[in-house]
Amino acid sequence: MTDLKWCRRTTGKIADLLGECGLAISANTIARLLHGMKFSLRLNQKKLTTSGSSDRNLQFDYIADLRERFQHGRMPIISVDSKKRELVGNFKSSGARWDREAWAVNDHDFLSDAIGVAIP
């Protein structure tokens, strides 16, 4: 037996690989055996925490200070919290638009072809 882990294989793939080794077994039988051994399909769970930076609170203090200064100056405050990044350039986007012809866009969304990156 090797150190090969089967956890990322489908029951069909496991059945095929065992068939190549001379053991005829169906994917349903493999699923039933795995369930009998208390195995089931599982998703990763985000439970582990990492040690935070000692300077992490500085960014929040800075934002709070800016907000207070803007409030005292009676200036509008817009809060944006986003990790989504969009490439700026001639790239395909989701959705449709009314037009007489489709627009031609780049066939790939490579960062090197972008004018820049925007954070909506």
Question: Which pLDDT value is given to residue 74?
Answer: 92
With a cut of 60, say whether residue 6 has pLDDT above it.
no
Kindly indicate the confidence band of residue 60, based on its pLDDT and cuts at 50, 70 and 90. Answer: confident
Question: Which pLDDT value is given to residue 50?
Answer: 67
Contact 18, 25 (CB under 8 A): yes
With a cut of 90, say whether residue 70 has pLDDT above it.
yes
Kindly indicate the confidence band of residue 15, based on its pLDDT and cuts at 50, 70 and 90. Answer: very high
pTM of this structure: 0.37
Among the residue ranges 41-50, 71-80, 85-94, the one predicted with the least confidence is 41-50
Question: Which pLDDT value is given to residue 66?
Answer: 92
